[in-house]
């Protein structure tokens, strides 16, 4: 049991809405009501939500990058629950791949990543969210270099949390390296600066959608 008394919690998830930044190849979320309270004899507000799960704060399933790997209903429902490192990096503002050397330099100053930690990568890129696609995506986002993905696999981390749309640029090599080795991926995090610590505890989960390549998540950091 997690004792929450005296614990600070931070919501590190974006609000999901129809005008948020998304990869131009993806469909924006849509919410459409088919019943509204007070409309004739209707007594409930009821809607249909249509969305691509790789928008907003979301988690990838291994199936996202390989037809033979498991979809969301196969993912451990406790994968987002547990200890985490918050790694704050001073990197270029746009279009940069975080390297193994960046991570090792942080560890030298702050202590090693522990086995089964989650890793939340704070680079400040979440601040670009309010600038829409032009700032958040088009100028180039913060991602992983393959050397960092390989290092996280070696460290046996639980999941990687990014402040940008993807751990990868034009290919899926980091996705494949991480998820083929049991390291999950959460993208489009925010408010990591509010954690104000190098370690925290994350709490979150996701719907078990059969056959899905990803799902929206709401993730909290407990300090």
Q: Per DSSP, what are the bridge partners of residue 214?
A: 60
Is 64 part of any domain? Answer: yes
- Total structural domains within the chain: 1
pLDDT at 2: 54
Burial of 178 (0-12, 13-18, 19+ CB in 10 A): buried
Cα–Cα dist 58/186, whole Å? 6
Chunked into runs of 10 residues, the chain (223 residues) has average pLDDT values of 75 96 93 94 95 97 97 97 98 97 98 97 98 97 98 98 97 98 98 97 97 98 96
Cα–Cα dist 57/14, whole Å? 6
Is 43 part of any domain? Answer: no
pLDDT at 138: 97
Is 191 part of any domain? Answer: yes
In the chain the first and final C-alpha atoms are separated, in Å, by 15
Domain CATH code at residue 105: 3.50.30.50
Cα–Cα dist 70/57, whole Å? 20
Specify the residue for token string 């503002």.
93
pTM, rounded to two decimals: 0.95
Q: Per DSSP, what are the bridge partners of residue 47?
A: 33
pLDDT at 3: 59
Q: Domain range spanning residue 130?
A: 58-222
């Amino acid at each position: 049991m997690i004792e929450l008394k005296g614990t600070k919690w931070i919501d590190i998830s974006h609000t999901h809405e129809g005008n948020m930044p998304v990869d131009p190849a993806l469909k924006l979320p849509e919410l459409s009501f088919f019943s509204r309270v007070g409309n004739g004899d209707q007594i409930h507000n009821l809607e249909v939500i249509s969305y691509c799960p790789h928008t907003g704060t979301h988690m990838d399933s291994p199936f996202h990058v390989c037809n033979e790997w498991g979809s969301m209903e196969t993912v451990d429902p406790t994968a987002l629950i547990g200890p985490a490192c918050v790694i704050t990096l001073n990197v270029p503002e746009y279009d940069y791949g975080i390297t193994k050397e960046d991570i090792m330099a942080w560890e030298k100053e702050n202590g090693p990543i522990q086995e089964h930690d989650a890793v939340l990568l704070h680079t400040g890129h979440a601040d670009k969210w309010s600038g829409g696609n032009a700032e958040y995506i088009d100028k180039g986002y913060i991602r992983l270099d393959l050397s960092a993905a390989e290092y996280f696999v070696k460290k046996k981390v639980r999941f990687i949390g990014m402040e940008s749309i993807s751990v990868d640029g034009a290919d899926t090599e980091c996705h494949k390296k991480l998820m083929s080795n049991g390291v999950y991926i959460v993208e489009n995090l925010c408010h990591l600066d509010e954690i104000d610590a190098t370690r925290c505890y994350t709490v979150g989960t996701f719907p078990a959608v059969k056959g899905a390549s990803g799902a929206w998540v709401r993730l909290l950091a407990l300090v």
